[in-house]
């Protein structure tokens, strides 16, 4: 195996993991998407596994190489770092097109291009893991063969006996010095009986440290010099723009467009159930679970502060009367949801819940001209009539 | 060379060790109590001192400063003497240190119980206690450096480097973060406001983790782990590199607690990248600990002390990897304000700090009493109970955090939020229950330890003054060829100065521009100082520890803007001494609470949250309806604010209470028009609500985040409607 090969391999591995990290500064709408999140988390985890495996393979390969070549590995290290640099910048650029990807087709709420990019990264990562595992097995197999061979000669047997063959890569991985040989690196310090060895820094630790420093430089460059990564405020704008585009798309459908002038009372069970869900989520805090009124007025009687017509209700919910404690819901609820909840509230008329609040506002009589009724059945019939 | 005979002071070590055990039990009991309050709101007993808002600071202060603090001192007083081959510099200073620290703890518990707090997390103690802490810390420093200087060992060992860095950095952090202007003996306002206060606070808060919960414990690890394993430290050069890198990088990472907040973006980015770079230096410590056990793993199977150390160091590695991951903005967007963070800190707290403390105690007590440990088996059982406890604690918290965060962010097809806030809370109640079981198991383990140590003490005989001998320190010869770091190791004072310089860099680069560069905090003309009543209400908000559950920081996310309103801007907090952004959302964000709900709703809600919000886990605050608002403090508070640069008119302190009374009357009159409120007032016999604390609190809540809306209205009506 050639050094350049190894460096290239590591570059490739890192190249595949860096776009995954680049998902970070690019959350836009996908940030809110559980699927994207899960994928990114899996990708990151896999990238970590790959990184770890790569170092292990690298270490194992180095052991193997040392046996084959006597050349020093300095150039290798330099190449590795170079490759790392290239990989990071490549990753940084590579993520740019993803940001501008079209928002049209959806896969689980993700734009299809984002989805496929993530999936490709995943597949590549899994392939890389298999590739590395294969390499590792190969190298370990080679080491094992060497050990069994060495066992035959007597001196080698003495040298290898205490350490199990599997430990070999771990030892090399960390540049461990065999425990029996630690006297060579004993510094002769003695602090209350504590001695100190001078083991070399574990290479993977050191290169990991370098990597984080390079990551830091690239991160700061992208965030504050090239502005390739959006700021927090920009991320927000992107997310809102994409959500608004989706909503605009929805509103093209006539039935999603309803306002205080066009709203009509609905009695359809599914719509009323939707209205009930909205009510339970948002309204019951002030009006009570049964509409009996807590700090907000009773919604089951015939007395209304801001009008009892379905259009009045819609308007009250939509714009609110903030000075009187009723907030505006047009930011929280869609027009259809407001219409549903207004209809649901109308359906509560005459239910006489326990603990109902006393009447507030003015008596409202439905267009049909019926008088306030205590009978639920009658009230319902009236409202239906009023709905035209 | 004639050997000198001297005695190690074991009495002070014993005192600190006992205090460690005592405060450990107290702190963890408080923790268990607050954990139960999550699913059983009645556990507050409707008593002010036992609500989450007050008990949580008691828990955090007790476990951090009382339990871990005493644990640090135990280890330092034991190891320092032996590493320096000298008795402590002064027995008197040792005693002052011990009793001083215990006094601080008792004062802290008492004041927090009564709601006397600055409202800054992990720095809640009021100014007289802050001063006392500074004094005692100086006593500790003199005692420590005195010992180091009269040492009989030419070089100082890596454990002592960590002690030195700890001492100087904690001193710096504590003093800078605690600068406050007193109103009276029990009340002060932070010198800093809003964004600046947040930055200073989290620079402090993060480095309290770094320099109170990490570096001193690493020092202890470097002494007790090789001692217990009887193995040489793995790598001296790793010690050097990870020590200096750790203290240099740690100090920069504070802003990662403020990602996506109103803190300037450049500071947030620094927080991110330095957190990422922190992985390697942190792991350097873990590796040096674990690799020291090479060749001693057979002992780990036998020895409970080593078992505790191994899991502690592993937990350290886990949480110092997780921390940087949580600092990445996209992960932080999910995890921040959720229970994920609680899980994260408890891996560190229960695993790293707790287990290091237990391992050390199991090692030390038998040594001090010259006897083997009473029962290894019991200690091993403690180990397993504790480990299972940690797992049962952490996993539900991760689960809860992730679940709740995803629920917060879930939109319906219609583009509205899928879940009301309360539903995201009730969803994770089972996780809260499991968490408290984990915590309870951990605590049972601690009781095992208390019994085991008690029996050990009973069966042994205490060696108060342990004899030792060593040659006196020789005058330094020329060490021309010595490794450069060995030179520093002979000069503790240089090491102190060097450490200070290293930790100053990051702090200064982050703090100074935030204070001096105007563009970092763009001003908003419509943001006005609080009225006197609102100011008093804000102090009640702080007193009750509302910030422990409610954030006041809307991040620029689509879901948060939808749920809470326009995202928070730096200019909105310029009069907030101290800032109240919070770090956890057990309840919803309150940054734009003003005007959201009517006064009457707040009145009913605070009296019994479950009346207005079924299944709410918020405690009741009935005493706010009984206590009269103490208006005698108003002039002093206004004057203090004026000193801090809040633009109240000159002489306003004298008339402030008139405005206060008028505003209270208006609110009270409004409240009386609501029938439900009137009903409650009659039942509870509240005759003059305008005098009660609740009205001040309502005034404050109705003010939060409103100023910016006024600005919008004046500039652009359309925009205000958006």
Provide the ipTM. 0.91
Q: E strands of B546-702, at which residues?
A: none
Interface of B with A in 234-253 (CB under 8 A): 234-239, 241, 245
Examine the pLDDT at B703 and tell me if it is beyond 90. Answer: yes
Nearest to B406 among A34, A212, A331 (CB): A34
| Host domain of residue B647 | 532-721
Q: Average pLDDT of B358-368?
A: 96
Examine the pLDDT at A167 and tell me if it is beyond 80. Answer: no
Say yes or no: B232 contacts chain A, CB-CB below 8 A: yes
Burial of B651 (0-12, 13-18, 19+ CB in 10 A): exposed
CATH of the domain at B573: 1.10.760.10
- Whether B217 and B272 map to the same domain: the answer is yes
Nearest to B277 among A205, A212, A236 (CB): A212
- Whether A113 and A231 map to the same domain: the answer is yes
If we measure between CA atoms, which residue out of A132, A108, A112, A131 comes closest to residue A120? A112
- Whether A216 and A129 map to the same domain: the answer is yes
Whether residue A360 lies inside any domain: the answer is: yes
Query: To 5 degrees, how large is the angle CA B699–CA B703–CA B705?
Result: 155
- Whether A352 and A210 map to the same domain: the answer is no
Radius of gyration (C-alpha) of chain A in whole angstroms: 35
At residue B584, what are phi and psi to the nearest 5 degrees? -145, 140
Examine the pLDDT at B476 and tell me if it is beyond 80. Answer: no
What pLDDT is recorded for position A375? 39
- Whether B124 and B221 map to the same domain: the answer is yes
Instruction: Name the pLDDT band for B195 (thresholds 50, 70, 90).
Output: very high
| Host domain of residue A337 | 269-386
CA–centroid distance for A377 within its chain: 50
- Whether A8 and A122 map to the same domain: the answer is yes
Whether residue B477 lies inside any domain: the answer is: no
Interface of A with B in 43-82 (CB under 8 A): none
* Segment A88-109, tens digit of pLDDT: 433 333 333 333 333 344 555 6
Q: Average pLDDT of B197-206?
A: 95
What pLDDT is recorded for position A23? 40
Task: Report d(CA B85, CA B153) in Å as an integer.
Answer: 6
N-to-C CA span, chain B = 85
Using DSSP's 3-state secondary structure scheme, residue B590 falls into coil
If we measure between CA atoms, which residue out of A103, A92, A100, A98 comes closest to residue A228? A92
Whether residue A250 lies inside any domain: the answer is: no
Say yes or no: B321 contacts chain A, CB-CB below 8 A: no
Q: Which residues of chain A does B333 touch, with a Cβ-Cβ cutoff of 8 Å? A: 27, 31
Using DSSP's 3-state secondary structure scheme, residue B184 falls into strand
Say yes or no: B720 contacts chain A, CB-CB below 8 A: no
What pLDDT is recorded for position A156? 42
Determine whether the interchain pair B674/A295 forms a contact, defined as Cβ–Cβ distance below 8 Å. yes
* Segment A245-264, tens digit of pLDDT: 988 888 787 777 788 888 88
Q: Which residues of chain B does A182 touch, with a Cβ-Cβ cutoff of 8 Å? A: 232
Q: Average pLDDT of B344-360?
A: 96
Contact B722, B694 (CB under 8 A): no
Of A324-328, B291-295, B445-449, the one with minimum mean pLDDT is A324-328
Interface of B with A in 360-419 (CB under 8 A): 406, 409-417, 419
- Whether B488 and B565 map to the same domain: the answer is no
Query: To 5 degrees, how large is the angle CA A273–CA A278–CA A280?
Result: 90
Say yes or no: B642 contacts chain A, CB-CB below 8 A: no
Torsion (CA) A351, A357, A363, A365 in degrees, nearest 10:
-20
- Whether B135 and B263 map to the same domain: the answer is yes
Q: How far is A250 from chain B (nearest CA, A)?
A: 8
- Whether B445 and B376 map to the same domain: the answer is yes
Examine the pLDDT at B623 and tell me if it is beyond 50. Answer: yes
Contact A272, A343 (CB under 8 A): yes
Interface A-B, measured as beta-carbon pairs within 8 A, has a size of 199
Task: Report d(CA B360, CA B529) in Å as an integer.
Answer: 52
Of B46-50, B314-318, B321-325, the one with minimum mean pLDDT is B46-50
Determine whether the interchain pair B276/A216 forms a contact, defined as Cβ–Cβ distance below 8 Å. yes
Q: Average pLDDT of B575-594?
A: 94
The sign of the CA dihedral A161, A164, A166, A168 is negative
Say yes or no: B678 contacts chain A, CB-CB below 8 A: no
Examine the pLDDT at B414 and tell me if it is beyond 50. Answer: yes
Whether residue B521 lies inside any domain: the answer is: no
Instruction: Name the pLDDT band for B714 (thresholds 50, 70, 90).
Output: low
Whether residue A245 lies inside any domain: the answer is: no
Count structural domains, chain A: 2
- Whether A231 and A86 map to the same domain: the answer is yes
Determine whether the interchain pair A250/B413 forms a contact, defined as Cβ–Cβ distance below 8 Å. yes
- Cα nearest neighbour of A233 on chain B: B556
Examine the pLDDT at B477 and tell me if it is beyond 80. Answer: no
Instruction: Name the pLDDT band for B424 (thresholds 50, 70, 90).
Output: very high
- Cα nearest neighbour of B280 on chain A: A209
- Whether B398 and B274 map to the same domain: the answer is yes
- Cα nearest neighbour of B406 on chain A: A34
Count structural domains, chain B: 2
* Segment B244-282, tens digit of pLDDT: 999 999 999 999 999 999 999 999 999 999 999 999 999
Scored b (16 or more CB within 10 A) or e, A104-123 reads eeeeeebbebbbebbeebbe
**Which residues face B293 on adjacent strands?**
none
What pLDDT is recorded for position B46? 86
- Cα nearest neighbour of A230 on chain B: B265
CA distances from B624 to B171, B607, B627 (A): 38, 8, 5
Whether residue B271 lies inside any domain: the answer is: yes
Determine whether the interchain pair B556/A282 forms a contact, defined as Cβ–Cβ distance below 8 Å. no
Q: Which residues of chain B does A24 touch, with a Cβ-Cβ cutoff of 8 Å? A: 328-331
Task: Report d(CA B20, CA B74) in Å as an integer.
Answer: 8
- Whether B192 and B53 map to the same domain: the answer is yes
Whether residue B349 lies inside any domain: the answer is: yes
- Whether B505 and B579 map to the same domain: the answer is no
Look at B415 and B378; give whichever has higher pLDDT. B378
CATH of the domain at B231: 1.20.210.10
Examine the pLDDT at B660 and tell me if it is beyond 60. Answer: yes
Whether residue B478 lies inside any domain: the answer is: no
Say yes or no: A209 contacts chain B, CB-CB below 8 A: yes
Whether residue A248 lies inside any domain: the answer is: no
Interface of B with A in 581-600 (CB under 8 A): 595-600
- Whether B428 and B459 map to the same domain: the answer is yes
Using DSSP's 3-state secondary structure scheme, residue B366 falls into helix
Whether residue B527 lies inside any domain: the answer is: no
Query: To 5 degrees, how large is the angle CA B213–CA B219–CA B224?
Result: 110
- Whether B563 and B700 map to the same domain: the answer is yes
Say yes or no: A247 contacts chain B, CB-CB below 8 A: yes
* Segment A58-70, tens digit of pLDDT: 777 777 677 666 4
- Whether A273 and A235 map to the same domain: the answer is no
Rounded to the nearest 10 degrees, what angle do helices B675-684 and B599-607 cross at? 40
If we measure between CA atoms, which residue out of B539, B567, B542 comes closest to residue B553? B567
- Whether B488 and B552 map to the same domain: the answer is no
- Whether A282 and A382 map to the same domain: the answer is yes
What single-letter DSSP state applies at residue A281?
A: I
Q: Average pLDDT of B46-61?
A: 94
- Whether A215 and A288 map to the same domain: the answer is no
- Whether B575 and B456 map to the same domain: the answer is no
Say yes or no: A159 contacts chain B, CB-CB below 8 A: no
Determine whether the interchain pair A194/B223 forms a contact, defined as Cβ–Cβ distance below 8 Å. yes
CATH of the domain at A381: 1.10.760.10
Determine whether the interchain pair A212/B279 forms a contact, defined as Cβ–Cβ distance below 8 Å. yes
């Amino acid at each position: 195996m050639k050094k350049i090969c190894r460096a290239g391999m590591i570059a490739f591995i890192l190249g595949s993991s860096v776009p995954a990290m680049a998902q970070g500064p690019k959350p836009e709408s996908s940030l809110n998407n559980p699927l994207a999140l899960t994928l990114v988390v899996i990708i990151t985890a896999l990238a970590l596994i790959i990184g770890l495996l790569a170092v292990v393979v690298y270490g194992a390969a180095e052991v193997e190489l040392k046996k084959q070549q006597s050349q020093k590995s300095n150039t290798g290290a330099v190449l590795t770092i170079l490759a790392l640099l290239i990989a990071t910048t490549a990753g940084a650029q590579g993520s740019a097109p993803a940001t501008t990807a079209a928002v049209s087709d959806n896969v689980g709420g993700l734009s299809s291009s984002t989805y496929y990019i993530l999936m490709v990264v995943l597949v590549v990562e899994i392939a890389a893991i298999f590739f590395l595992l294969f390499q590792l097995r190969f190298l370990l197999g080679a080491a094992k063969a060497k050990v069994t061979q060495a066992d035959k000669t007597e001196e080698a047997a003495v040298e290898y006996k205490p350490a199990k063959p599997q430990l070999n890569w771990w030892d090399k991985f960390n540049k461990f010095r065999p425990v029996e040989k630690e006297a060579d690196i004993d510094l002769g310090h003695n602090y209350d009986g504590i001695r100190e060895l001078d083991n070399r820094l574990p290479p993977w630790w050191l290169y990991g440290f370098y990597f984080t420093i390079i990551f830091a430089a690239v991160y700061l460059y992208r965030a504050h010099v090239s502005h390739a990564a959006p700021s927090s405020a920009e991320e927000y704008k992107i997310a809102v723009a994409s959500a608004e585009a989706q909503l605009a798309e929805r509103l093209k459908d006539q039935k999603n467009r309803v306002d205080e002038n066009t709203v009509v009372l609905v009695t359809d069970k599914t719509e009323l159930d939707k209205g009930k869900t909205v009510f339970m989520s948002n309204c019951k805090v002030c009006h009570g679970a049964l509409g009996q009124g807590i700090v907000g007025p009773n919604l089951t009687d015939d007395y209304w502060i801001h009008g009892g017509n379905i259009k009045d209700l819609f308007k009250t919910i939509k714009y609110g009367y903030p000075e009187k404690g009723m907030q505006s819901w047009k930011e929280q609820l869609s027009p259809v949801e407001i219409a549903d909840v207004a209809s649901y509230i109308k359906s509560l008329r005459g239910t006489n819940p326990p603990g109902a609040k006393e009447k507030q506002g003015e008596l409202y009589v439905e267009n049909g001209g019926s008088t306030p009724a205590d009978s639920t059945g009658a009230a319902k019939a009236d409202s239906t009539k009023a709905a035209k | 060379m004639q050997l000198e005979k001297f005695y190690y002071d074991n009495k002070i070590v014993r005192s600190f060790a006992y205090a460690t055990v005592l405060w450990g039990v107290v702190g963890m009991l408080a923790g268990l109590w607050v954990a139960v309050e999550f699913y059983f709101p009645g556990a507050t007993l409707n008593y002010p001192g036992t609500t989450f808002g007050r008990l949580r600071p008691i828990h955090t202060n007790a476990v951090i400063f009382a339990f871990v603090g005493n644990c640090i001192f135990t280890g330092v007083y034991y190891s320092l003497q032996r590493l320096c081959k000298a008795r402590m510099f002064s027995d008197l200073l040792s005693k002052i240190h011990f009793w001083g620290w215990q006094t601080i703890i008792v004062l802290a518990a008492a004041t927090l119980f009564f709601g006397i707090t600055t409202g800054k997390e992990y720095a809640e103690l009021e100014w007289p206690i802050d001063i006392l802490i500074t004094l005692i810390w100086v006593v500790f420093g003199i005692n420590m450096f005195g010992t180091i200087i009269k040492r009989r060992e030419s070089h100082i060992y890596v454990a002592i480097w960590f002690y030195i860095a700890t001492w100087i950095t904690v001193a710096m952090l504590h003093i800078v973060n605690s600068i406050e202007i007193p109103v009276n003996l029990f009340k002060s306002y932070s010198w800093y406001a809003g964004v600046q206060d947040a930055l200073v606070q989290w620079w402090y808060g993060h480095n309290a983790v770094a320099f109170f919960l990490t570096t001193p414990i690493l020092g202890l690890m470097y002494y007790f782990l090789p001692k217990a394993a009887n193995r040489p430290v793995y790598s001296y050069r790793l010690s050097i590199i990870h020590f200096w890198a750790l203290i240099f990088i740690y100090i920069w990472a504070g802003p990662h607690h403020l990602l996506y907040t109103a803190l300037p973006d450049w500071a947030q980015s620094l927080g991110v990248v330095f957190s990422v770079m922190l992985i390697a230096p942190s792991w350097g410590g873990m590796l040096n600990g674990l690799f020291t056990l090479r060749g001693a793993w057979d002992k780990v199977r036998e020895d409970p002390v080593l078992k505790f150390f191994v899991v502690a160091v592993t937990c350290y590695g886990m949480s110092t990897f997780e921390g940087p991951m949580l600092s990445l903005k996209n992960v932080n967007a999910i995890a921040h304000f959720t229970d994920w963070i609680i899980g994260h800190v408890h891996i560190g707290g229960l695993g790293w700090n707790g287990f290091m403390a237990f391992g050390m105690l199991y090692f030390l007590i038998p040594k001090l009493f010259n006897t083997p440990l009473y029962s290894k088996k019991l200690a091993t059982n403690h180990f397993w109970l504790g480990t299972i406890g940690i797992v049962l604690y952490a996993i539900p918290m991760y689960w809860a955090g992730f679940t709740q965060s995803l629920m917060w962010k879930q939109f319906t097809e219609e583009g509205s939020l899928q879940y009301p806030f309360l539903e995201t809370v009730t969803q994770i109640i089972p996780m809260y229950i499991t968490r408290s079981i984990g915590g309870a198991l951990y605590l049972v383990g601690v009781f095992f330890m208390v019994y085991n140590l008690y029996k050990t003490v009973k069966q042994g005989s205490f060696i108060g003054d342990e004899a030792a001998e060593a040659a006196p320190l020789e005058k330094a010869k020329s060490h021309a060829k010595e490794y450069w770091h060995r030179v520093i190791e002979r000069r503790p004072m240089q090491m102190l100065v060097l450490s200070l310089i290293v930790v100053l860099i990051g702090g200064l680069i982050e703090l100074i521009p935030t204070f001096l560069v105007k563009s970092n905090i763009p001003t908003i003309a419509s943001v006005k100082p609080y009225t006197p009543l609102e100011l008093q209400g804000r102090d009640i908000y702080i007193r009750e520890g509302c910030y422990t559950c409610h954030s006041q920081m809307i991040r620029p996310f689509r879901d948060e803007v939808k749920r809470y309103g326009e995202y928070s801007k730096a200019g909105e907090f310029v009069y907030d001494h101290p800032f109240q952004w919070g770090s956890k959302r057990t309840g919803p964000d309150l940054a734009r609470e003003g005007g959201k709900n009517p006064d009457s709703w707040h009145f009913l809600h605070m009296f019994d949250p479950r009346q207005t919000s079924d299944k709410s886990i918020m405690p009741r605050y009935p005493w706010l309806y009984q206590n009269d608002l103490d208006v005698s403090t108003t002039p002093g508070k206004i004057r203090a604010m004026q000193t801090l640069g809040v633009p109240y008119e000159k002489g306003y302190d004298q008339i402030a209470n008139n405005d206060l009374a008028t505003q209270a009357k208006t609110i009270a009159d409004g409240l009386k028009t609501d029938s439900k409120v009137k009903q409650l007032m009659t039942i509870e016999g509240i005759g003059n609500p305008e005098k009660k604390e609740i009205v001040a609190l309502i005034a404050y809540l109705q003010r939060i985040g409103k100023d910016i809306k006024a600005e919008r209205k004046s500039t652009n009506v359309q925009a205000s409607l958006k």
